Structure 1
Amino acid sequence: MLRAALNRLLGMAIVMALVVTIVFIIVRVTPGDPAAVMLGPDATAADIASLRQRLGLDASIPEQFVTYLGGLLRGDLGTSIFLNIPVAQALWLRAEPTFFLTIFSLLIATAIALPVGVLSAYWRGTLFDQAATTLAMLAASIPSFWLGLIFMQVFAVQLGWFNTSGFGGPGASFAERMHHLVLPAFTLGLISSALITRFTRAAMLDVLNDDYVRTARSKGMGEWRVVVRHAFKNALIPILTVVGLTAALLISGAIVTETVFGLPGVGSLIVSAVLRRDYPVIQGALLVVAGLYVLVNFIIDMLYLLVDPRVRY
Structure 2
Amino acid sequence: MWLTLGRRIGGLLIVMFLVAAMVFFLTRLAPGDPAALMLGDQATAEDIAHLRQVYGLDKPILVQFVLWLKEIATGNLGQSIFLQRPVTQAIAERAEPTFFLALFSVSIAALVGIPAGIVSAVWRGRVVDQIVSGLAMLAANIPSFWLGLIFIQFFAVRLGWFPVAGYGDPGAPFVERIAHLALPATVLGIVNSALIIRFTRASMLDVLSDDYIRTARSKGISEIRVVLRHAFGNALVPIITVVGLTAALLVGGAIVTETVFGLPGIGNLVVSAVLRRDYPVIQGALIVVAGIYVLINLLIDIIYTFVDPRVRY
Aligned counterparts, 1:256-271, within 5 A:
256-271=256-271
Q: Which residue type is aligned with residue 49 of structure 1?
A: A
* In structure 2, C-alpha distance between the alignment counterparts of 1:53 and 1:209, rounded to whole Å: 67
* In structure 2, C-alpha distance between the alignment counterparts of 1:155 and 1:290, rounded to whole Å: 34
* In structure 2, C-alpha distance between the alignment counterparts of 1:266 and 1:55, rounded to whole Å: 23
* In structure 1, C-alpha distance between the alignment counterparts of 2:229 and 2:271, rounded to whole Å: 45
Query: Which sits farther off after the overlay, 143-152 or 1-10?
Result: 1-10
* In structure 2, C-alpha distance between the alignment counterparts of 1:215 and 1:181, rounded to whole Å: 46
* In structure 2, C-alpha distance between the alignment counterparts of 1:133 and 1:172, rounded to whole Å: 41
Q: Which residue type is aligned with residue 80 of structure 2?
A: S
Matched with 1:297 is 297
Matched with 2:310 is 310
Matched with 1:247 is 247
Asked whether 1:206 is paired with 2:185, we answer no
Q: Which secondary structure state, in structure 2, belongs to the residue aligned with residue 84 of structure 1?
A: coil
Matched with 2:130 is 130
- The two structures, once aligned, show a CA RMSD in angstroms of 0.8
Q: Which residue type is aligned with residue 20 of structure 1?
A: A
Stretches of structure 2 that go unaligned for 5 or more consecutive residues are none
Matched with 1:149 is 149
* In structure 1, C-alpha distance between the alignment counterparts of 2:15 and 2:105, rounded to whole Å: 27
Q: Which residue type is aligned with residue 287 of structure 1?
A: I
* In structure 1, C-alpha distance between the alignment counterparts of 2:290 and 2:180, rounded to whole Å: 27
Paired residues, number:
313
Q: Which residue type is aligned with residue 139 of structure 1?
A: A
* TM-score under structure 1 length normalisation: 0.98
Matched with 1:106 is 106
* In structure 2, C-alpha distance between the alignment counterparts of 1:216 and 1:118, rounded to whole Å: 18
Q: Which secondary structure state, in structure 1, belongs to the residue aligned with residue 254 of structure 2?
A: helix
Matched with 1:92 is 92
Aligned counterparts, 1:1-313, within 5 A:
1-313=1-313
* In structure 1, C-alpha distance between the alignment counterparts of 2:287 and 2:73, rounded to whole Å: 13
* In structure 2, C-alpha distance between the alignment counterparts of 1:134 and 1:116, rounded to whole Å: 12
Q: Which secondary structure state, in structure 1, belongs to the residue aligned with residue 298 of structure 2?
A: helix
* TM-score under structure 2 length normalisation: 0.98
Following superposition, the deviation at residue 53 of structure 1 comes to: 1.3
* In structure 2, C-alpha distance between the alignment counterparts of 1:310 and 1:54, rounded to whole Å: 56
Query: Which sits farther off after the overlay, 41-50 or 159-168?
Result: 41-50
Query: Which sits farther off after the overlay, 192-201 or 9-18?
Result: 9-18
Q: Which residue type is aligned with residue 208 of structure 2?
A: L
* In structure 2, C-alpha distance between the alignment counterparts of 1:129 and 1:239, rounded to whole Å: 18
Following superposition, the deviation at residue 244 of structure 1 comes to: 1.1
* In structure 2, C-alpha distance between the alignment counterparts of 1:81 and 1:21, rounded to whole Å: 20
* In structure 1, C-alpha distance between the alignment counterparts of 2:69 and 2:117, rounded to whole Å: 46
Q: Which secondary structure state, in structure 2, belongs to the residue aligned with residue 94 of structure 1?
A: helix
Following superposition, the deviation at residue 65 of structure 1 comes to: 1.0
* In structure 2, C-alpha distance between the alignment counterparts of 1:133 and 1:25, rounded to whole Å: 42
Q: Deviations over 1:43-85 (max 9, x none)?
A: 2222211211122111110111121111112110001000111
Following superposition, the deviation at residue 312 of structure 1 comes to: 2.3
Q: Which residue type is aligned with residue 22 of structure 2?
A: I
